[in-house]
Amino acid sequence: MVVLTGAGISADSGVPTFRGADGLWRRHRAEELATPAAFARDPRLVWEWYGWRRALVAGCDPNAAHLALARWQAAWPEVHIITQNVDGLHLAAHRIVSAPAAGAGGGGPPSEEPSLYELHGSLFRTRCTGCGQRRESREVVDASSLASLPRCAACGSLLRPDVVWFGESLESEVVERSFELAEGAAACLVIGTSAVVQPAASIAAVAARAGAALVDVNIEATGLSQAADLFLRGRAAEIVPRLLGEPGEREPPGRG
């Protein structure tokens, strides 16, 4: 089963979407903030914006939809999550679900990394503009001046957020693996995406064409909902836990 998620799954956690009524791209011009040219022109401004988004997301918790998916993943390794989100909430849900229960003693099994593909990168990673080194990064960025921006410990170049900007290509391995998974999926569950950004949107189409059952969860119909076998209209945090149930209650569908 392939799960494709977009900003809508995190809306119930308080993370703004991009194209909704209060969406980020309604209030900010993408070309001034999320392009390589914008960063070359004014890295301070770009970091100020990403610093703001980091702080915002750092105050948000995974919701019932992230948690239900993480529980499914913990039960079935054949559940793969492909996300367009850079908020890290799928990983946060995985950590919550796989953490040993408090006071249980002995601890649970070591938590394996989930099958999670972050197509558009992560707010909580930086990449060096000089040597390309990637690093986890959760600290508050001081974007008050050019001199205070984070720099690479190895080569001294400016660090940038490790997210995919407009005009940039996605990590080819991540994209290839995502399409491979889509080709082999028995079911494709799409949650909270307007499905207008490529190549993410085609992942669901490829899965459907290859025979996967297509289920779409969204508060409003999108181009994809029309093509879906099942369109569940409503909020992700409410619909997804009801759809999946607890592990053991329901199983991921098999092909045929």
Burial class from Cβ neighbours inside 10 Å (0-12, 13-18, 19+) for residue 181 reads buried
Peptide bond into 199 cis (omega under 30): yes
Instruction: Indicate whether 34 belongs to the interface with ligand OAD (CB under 6 A).
Output: yes
- Distance in angstroms (rounded) separating the CA atoms of residues 136 and 125: 4
- Distance in angstroms (rounded) separating the CA atoms of residues 82 and 206: 14
Phi, psi of 59 (to 5 degrees): -90, 5
Instruction: Indicate whether 230 belongs to the interface with Zn ion (CB under 5 A).
Output: no
Q: From residue 147 to residue 166, what is the string marking binding to Zn ion with x (rule CB under 5 A)? A: -----x-xx-x---------
Instruction: Indicate whether 122 belongs to the interface with ligand OAD (CB under 6 A).
Output: no
Triad 131, 137, 140: Cα angle to 5°: 120
Question: Among residue numbers 82 through 141, which ones bind Zn ion (CB under 5 A)?
Answer: 128, 130-131
Structure tokens of 147? Answer: 């001199």
Structure tokens of 179? Answer: 């399409």
CA distances to 12, 133, 141, 221 from 1, in Å: 23, 32, 38, 22
Note if 120 is an active site residue. yes
Indicate if the alpha-carbon torsion angle 152, 155, 160, 161 is positive or negative: negative
Helix or strand or coil: residue 1? coil
Q: From residue 172 to residue 201, what is the string marking binding to ligand OAD with x (rule CB under 6 A)? A: --------------------xxx--x----
- Distance in angstroms (rounded) separating the CA atoms of residues 30 and 209: 32
**DSSP class of residue 158?**
B
Q: Please answer whether residues 163 and 121 qualify as being in contact, where contact means their C-beta atoms are separated by less than 8 angstroms.
A: yes
When the beta carbons of 75 and 219 are compared against ligand OAD, the nearer one is 219
When the beta carbons of 98 and 164 are compared against ligand OAD, the nearer one is 164
- Give me the least distance between CB of 134 and Zn ion, in Å please: 10
Instruction: Indicate whether 218 belongs to the interface with ligand OAD (CB under 6 A).
Output: yes
When the beta carbons of 131 and 196 are compared against Zn ion, the nearer one is 131
Instruction: Indicate whether 18 belongs to the interface with ligand OAD (CB under 6 A).
Output: yes
Instruction: Indicate whether 88 belongs to the interface with ligand OAD (CB under 6 A).
Output: no
Instruction: Indicate whether 17 belongs to the interface with ligand OAD (CB under 6 A).
Output: yes
When the beta carbons of 8 and 62 are compared against ligand OAD, the nearer one is 8
Count, residues near ligand OAD per rule CB under 6 A: 25
When the beta carbons of 87 and 98 are compared against ligand OAD, the nearer one is 87
- Give me the least distance between CB of 92 and ligand OAD, in Å please: 17
- Distance in angstroms (rounded) separating the CA atoms of residues 144 and 101: 42
Instruction: Indicate whether 11 belongs to the interface with ligand OAD (CB under 6 A).
Output: yes
Active-site amino acid positions:
120
Binding residues for Zn ion (CB under 5 A): 128, 130-131, 152, 154-155, 157
Binding residues for ligand OAD (CB under 6 A): 6-8, 11-12, 17-20, 23, 34, 84, 120, 164, 192-194, 197, 217-220, 222, 235-236
